Structure 1
Amino acid sequence: MSRTPSDTITWGMMLRKLPTIAKAIPRVVKGMKAANVKDPTQPCGLGWTFEQATLRNPDGLALLQDEVALTYTQANQWANRIAHHLTAQGIRKGDVVAVFIENRPELLVTILAVAKAGAVSALLNTAQTRDTLAHSLNLVAPAAIVVGEELLAVYSAVRERVSIDASRTWFIADQHTFSQPGISPEGFINLMTASLDSPVENPASSQQVFFDDTCFYIYTSGTTGLPKAGVFKHGRWMRSSASFGLIALNMRPDDVVYCTLPLYHATGLCVCWGSAIRGASAFAIRRKFSASQFWRDVRKYRATTLGYVGELCRYLVDQPASSDDRMHSVTKMIGNGLRPGAWGEFKTRFGVVHICELYAASDGNIGFSNILNFDNTIGFSLMKWELVAYDHDTGTPTRNAQGWMTKVGKRVQGLLLAKIDDKAPLDGYTDPQKTAKVVLHDVFEKGDRYFNTGDLLRNIGFGHAQFVDRLGDTYRWKGENVSTTEVENILLQHPHIAEAVAYGVEICNTNGRAGMAAITPAESLATLDFSELLAFARQQMPAYAVPLFLRVKVKMETTGTFKYQKTRLKDEAFDPGKTGDDPVYAWLPGTQTYVRVCEQVLADIHAGKYRY
């Protein structure tokens, strides 16, 4: 796939950043000191950092949603009451408390209380139901659960499949329970009412939490199978919140972070909320993302900082332009997945000065961030990392004749490996066998260990990297490796395509996987000229990367963090008998347009009538 010249960071570009670098050095030093807690007896973690923020900014706003506005003192005392009650009910250090609440202040205060008690929050995905939800719960054997009223019916459907004592099955009403605890249904205990008379002082247990203690279990999305529970320790909370809040964003008490991302995932909870806490800043949240209400909320909360994922930004760009587009106080944003094609457009239209694109995974040990504010990069990492050659068919890194892995050159895509050491430990999963699968041994020398991220990156100079794709999302066709991300970026430049998801599918009697894309028209199917669309694709990308099949969808299914459900799309491929109401089109060899795939066309493809 082609690259633009701006993808490479040059000496000239770095020299122009020297004033920024000089200005950033003091806070980088401060941030690194705060991030690297090494004393095993030093209190640290979520509860400790929130208490420190409360000391710095006791009367400053901490949590905002709709008409709710809580100061740091109010939020801290609220969490303290809950933490004291949890302890009184027998919750001990290391116990797991499942948390099943949608985005609202009660979710964050509950997680904070659990951390202060020294227990572990299992952050259940609020979109999960039935078998998946029961699996996620039983995976971590919780000693207790806290359920929001909005998810009561969902939990009740699996309650008999989970061994949690009724005395520790807590309920939180779907209202502002700081002042109005509400009434619990039968069989549940109202956590807010039960903790109402508990002490407001910081519990002693929050001083007994250390860097190697587990803070959360964060679940993988489960798009390729049942979710796994990733371990997120308090030491990692210190590294994450300091790296992003202090070093990358330089958060201060007068900052306000606006976040619509689900708070059961690390980007919303650890990056966005963690950054706010590090700066003793306000954290404004919304129950669910709304493109039409986004900038209205930003102005209402006087937000200075946004949390994002790439698709969220594209939804905002797709909204009709308005004279109010730059009427806000936002100067910086942090998140991941912003496509190069949308980067410049978003920055120009909405006037955001600093896009701090990051790379991290809740189950990994490395993070990158775009501290120096270059375009189209995830920035650099202070951890040790390498990009290595890999076998495209198996996805495994290759080894040379001596048994060592091979590093790739600059501007060449490779598989990202992160060194596991005292500076960057790997917390892994609750299942040791799953952790073992992602650890590589004897990579460049005897005894070294690296985390296999499963992601493809490109080194674009001066330690900066560019995300290319998930390893499983690339495919090989005509002897060439095709990045689905880059195909999607090009298709999204077409004026009549609103969404695009690229993936590889198998064709009988061919090698590799042919390109296919699910697309959502900007207006309607009738607006798509398939001859023109094919000509556009052939002009913009190499012949081997042009999708041979298109699937037209009215709406694209996504996870809570806007990840596309590619596994299902791959399985259904180009068979109209499996794609339901979605029409499928094929570019047949020797033709100049995409044609509708009917049973006869499908049969001809399977019979080898067309020479691909």
Structure 2
Amino acid sequence: MANTQERLVSLPNILVQLSRQATSLHIKLKGVYELATSKPDKNKSIGLLLEKHARKRPDHIAIRYENVTYTYDQLNRKANKLAHYLASQGISSGDVVAVVLENRPETIIAVMAIVKLGAIASMINTSQRGEVLLHSLTLVKAKMIIVGEEMLENMATVEGDLDAASLASLHYLRDSGTTPCPAHYTNLLDRIADRSDQNPDSTRHVKMHQPCYYIFTSGTTGLPKASVMSHYRWFKSLAGMGLASMNMSKDDILYVSLPLYHNNALTVSMAAVLGSGACIAIARKFSVSRFWDDVRHYDATAFCYIGELCRYLLNAPQKSDDRNHKIRVCVGNGLRPDIWMEFKQRFGIEHINEFYGASECNLVFTNAFNLDKTAGFCPLSYNIVEYDIEEDTPVRDNKGLMIPVKPGNTGLLITEVNDKQPFEGYTDEDASNKKLFHNVFTQGDCWFNTGDLVMNQGWKHVSFADRLGDTFRWKGENVATTEVESILMEHQDIEHAVVYGVQIPHTDGRAGMATITPSKPADQMDWDDVTRHVRDKLPAYAVPIFLRLREQQEVTGTFKYRKVELKEEAYHLDKTGDETVLVLTGKNSSYEPLTAETEAKIDAGELSL
């Protein structure tokens, strides 16, 4: 389905891009040096780096938020005051402090204070309520919970289920001041007012291998898991991504509209900023209408993204000032090949620094050579192996060993676990063990299962293909959902599409189904044209049998689609509510509304789909 040749990487293209980046060679070399000198047992940490900038460039702006600024000296002193209070409450190395705050400077201040003590900041998803929020808070056994005024309503949904110790640990952090501190909370600003603003002694004892954050998975399948981020991995992102790949300098301003509880913001972006002594500009929340105005307001030279964020920006009406900004680089993941060039050209972005790396993954690919339609390059030990979608397992040869794929082919990405690439996993040991393969290429070796299918683009580059569990098998062929989604969204009347496989009685495999958001009312859609579009662009086995119409897709806080419920509801009219479901009932048919009578025939195996 994909244009494989277009997405392969060639050595001449790499050399051309390297020659264009010659002026930033000193920054790249600094990144390589940081990578080489960062050792897990070294006394080096995020807190020490902040103190270094506060000492060397105290008046340089570190944070911009709306019309407020914080210099490095101010940021460090505010973090110190909070750190001293936390220490007075018994918070020390290895303890967990839950941070329940939206995007604002206080979020970064809280995180910096926590990591200065060698403690762990557990970053709580601000969209969570009820059972999911309770799960996240109890999973990490937080010794203290810092709650923003803006999050009091969410916290109220779980307070009745918290134990006495957790209730006693609740600390209120003022926001607008419209909701006063509840009686059962401790007012944090009151408690830190008279604390010392000098660097705590604890910071210089923190080692790189120690955890700094717990970052929760998005919870698209089941309850969220807490992945562990160490100072060591954070510094590797600083070096490999911020310096060697993005070429960040102290003059850069990186705009962040993604939530700070996400690694793209707190690790990729914050590490890039602190690594170069630059400035981070924070938006409270992502807004399509305000995005470029914010970029201009902050004089931003960089921003971070998730793929769907870019699609939202691209779907917005074109404006004459689309290129009126100072952005030279954007960093993120999930930008799909079908919109890559259009996005780059419309907004005039010089370098799309796409990367690949999950919260729990022990290595990162990054587009250091500024090539198009690639998740980039990784010099560390990984492999891409053949995978049997139907059996849901890697293919092994007659010796029981996995089989690497050749350039141009797609397989399961696995990464070697060793001293240089430790797997830090989740807080749940059983969940961590389930992500490891053993005896992959030699007896006794250990490899991390990313759970992702990627294309081997050659020259140590990859592009993302699909998640295991999303790719499905139909008519004896593997169907990559991301490819089908891209084709559907090429149609001018389809804004968004979520593709997945559904089970049909009396058939093998799973049939393709898409939940789509049309750009016009359903009765104005030309379904014959949509049918022609997908039949022309997709092989027969990949054409979705069912379409479900939805005004707005359900997504997580970081724009990941929630497919679990969609798969369970499938095409069944008693489960899809008042949303229209369309079906292709034959090879020459067009999409038409699914009726109860047609559904019964499908379930009885009377229609050949």
Residue type matched to 1:466 in 2? S
Matched, 1:169 2:166: no
Matched, 1:431 2:428: yes
Match of 1:217 among 208, 214, 221: 214
Contact 2:96–2:140 under 8 Å retained in 1: yes
Distance 2:170 2:71 in 1: 28
Shift of 1:29: 3.6
| TM-score (norm. length: structure 1) | 0.97
Distance 1:447 1:57 in 2: 49
Residue type matched to 2:143 in 1? A
Change in 2 beyond 3 A, CA 1:208/1:367? same
* Secondary structure of 1:472's aligned partner: coil
Distance 1:478 1:53 in 2: 59
Instruction: Give the aligned partner of residue 409 of structure 1.
Output: 406
Residue type matched to 1:201 in 2? Q
Contact 1:309–1:336 under 8 Å retained in 2: yes
* Secondary structure of 2:97's aligned partner: strand
- RMSD (CA atoms): 1.6
Instruction: Give the aligned partner of residue 59 of structure 2.
Output: 59
Shift of 1:189: 1.1
Distance 2:275 2:15 in 1: 30
Contact 1:386–1:407 under 8 Å retained in 2: yes
* Secondary structure of 1:42's aligned partner: coil
Contact 2:121–2:213 under 8 Å retained in 1: yes
Match of 2:325 among 300, 323, 328: 328
Q: How does 1:261-280 map to 2 (within 5 A)?
A: 261-280=258-277
Q: How does 1:117-266 map to 2 (within 5 A)?
A: 117-163=117-163, 164-175=165-176, 184-266=181-263
Contact 1:20–1:372 under 8 Å retained in 2: no
* Secondary structure of 2:288's aligned partner: coil
Distance 1:50 1:18 in 2: 31
Residue type matched to 1:78 in 2? K
Change in 2 beyond 3 A, CA 1:600/1:171? same
Instruction: Give the aligned partner of residue 99 of structure 1.
Output: 99
Residue type matched to 2:601 in 1? D
* Secondary structure of 2:212's aligned partner: strand
* Secondary structure of 2:294's aligned partner: helix
Once the two structures are superposed, residues 295-332 of structure 1 have per-residue CA deviations (whole angstroms, 9 ceiling, x without a partner) of 00000000000100110001111111111101100010
Shift of 1:355: 0.2
Shift of 1:600: 0.6
Distance 1:242 1:182 in 2: 42
Distance 1:39 1:453 in 2: 24
Work out the percentage of aligned pairs sharing the same amino acid.
43
Match of 1:337 among 326, 330, 334: 334
Distance 1:601 1:544 in 2: 21
Change in 2 beyond 3 A, CA 1:231/1:36? farther
Matched, 1:549 2:546: yes
Distance 1:16 1:136 in 2: 47
Comparing 151-160 and 214-223, the one that deviates more: 151-160
Shift of 1:608: 1.1
* Secondary structure of 1:221's aligned partner: coil
Shift of 1:100: 0.5
Contact 2:355–2:364 under 8 Å retained in 1: yes
Q: How does 1:568-587 map to 2 (within 5 A)?
A: 568-587=565-584
Contact 2:38–2:236 under 8 Å retained in 1: no
Distance 2:577 2:217 in 1: 28
Distance 2:430 2:166 in 1: 29
Shift of 1:253: 1.4
Shift of 1:88: 1.2
Give structure 1 regions of 4+ aligned residues with deviation exceeding 6 angstroms: none
Matched, 1:474 2:475: no
Distance 1:15 1:277 in 2: 29
Change in 2 beyond 3 A, CA 1:426/1:36? farther
Contact 2:470–2:480 under 8 Å retained in 1: yes
Instruction: Give the aligned partner of residue 84 of structure 2.
Output: 84
Instruction: Give the aligned partner of residue 416 of structure 2.
Output: 419
Contact 1:36–1:423 under 8 Å retained in 2: no
| TM-score (norm. length: structure 2) | 0.97
Once the two structures are superposed, residues 341-396 of structure 1 have per-residue CA deviations (whole angstroms, 9 ceiling, x without a partner) of 11111111110100000111111111010011111000011221100011212322
Once the two structures are superposed, residues 259-294 of structure 1 have per-residue CA deviations (whole angstroms, 9 ceiling, x without a partner) of 111111111110011111111111111111100010
Instruction: Give the aligned partner of residue 350 of structure 1.
Output: 347
Change in 2 beyond 3 A, CA 1:376/1:76? same
Contact 1:95–1:119 under 8 Å retained in 2: yes
Distance 2:131 2:323 in 1: 45
Contact 2:18–2:369 under 8 Å retained in 1: no
Contact 1:181–1:192 under 8 Å retained in 2: no
Shift of 1:479: 1.1
Gaps of 5+ in 2: none
Contact 1:57–1:253 under 8 Å retained in 2: no
Distance 2:130 2:523 in 1: 39
Matched, 1:12 2:16: no
Shift of 1:510: 0.9
Once the two structures are superposed, residues 482-524 of structure 1 have per-residue CA deviations (whole angstroms, 9 ceiling, x without a partner) of 1100111111110000001111111111111111111101122
Change in 2 beyond 3 A, CA 1:10/1:38? closer
Aligned pairs, how many?
608
Contact 2:14–2:371 under 8 Å retained in 1: no
Instruction: Give the aligned partner of residue 444 of structure 1.
Output: 441
Once the two structures are superposed, residues 233-256 of structure 1 have per-residue CA deviations (whole angstroms, 9 ceiling, x without a partner) of 111111112221111111111110
Change in 2 beyond 3 A, CA 1:584/1:250? same
Instruction: Give the aligned partner of residue 286 of structure 2.
Output: 289
Change in 2 beyond 3 A, CA 1:120/1:18? closer
Distance 1:321 1:75 in 2: 38
Matched, 1:594 2:595: no
Contact 1:37–1:211 under 8 Å retained in 2: no
Distance 1:308 1:11 in 2: 28
Change in 2 beyond 3 A, CA 1:429/1:188? same
Change in 2 beyond 3 A, CA 1:230/1:11? closer
Instruction: Give the aligned partner of residue 368 of structure 2.
Output: 371
Matched, 1:304 2:305: no
Change in 2 beyond 3 A, CA 1:182/1:585? closer
Residue type matched to 1:563 in 2? K
Instruction: Give the aligned partner of residue 515 of structure 1.
Output: 512
Match of 2:484 among 487, 491, 494: 487
Once the two structures are superposed, residues 49-69 of structure 1 have per-residue CA deviations (whole angstroms, 9 ceiling, x without a partner) of 222232343211111111211
Change in 2 beyond 3 A, CA 1:572/1:352? same
Change in 2 beyond 3 A, CA 1:278/1:191? same
* Secondary structure of 2:69's aligned partner: strand
Instruction: Give the aligned partner of residue 71 of structure 2.
Output: 71
Distance 1:376 1:326 in 2: 21
Distance 2:69 2:18 in 1: 40
Instruction: Give the aligned partner of residue 116 of structure 2.
Output: 116
Shift of 1:45: 2.3
* Secondary structure of 1:261's aligned partner: coil
Distance 1:393 1:570 in 2: 17
Shift of 1:158: 1.2
* Secondary structure of 2:377's aligned partner: coil
Change in 2 beyond 3 A, CA 1:481/1:549? same
Residue type matched to 1:263 in 2? L
Residue type matched to 1:287 in 2? R
* Secondary structure of 1:199's aligned partner: coil
Match of 2:450 among 449, 453, 456: 453
Distance 2:184 2:391 in 1: 50
Comparing 443-452 and 154-163, the one that deviates more: 154-163
Once the two structures are superposed, residues 207-240 of structure 1 have per-residue CA deviations (whole angstroms, 9 ceiling, x without a partner) of 1110111111111111110111111111111111
Distance 1:605 1:402 in 2: 43
Change in 2 beyond 3 A, CA 1:38/1:577? same
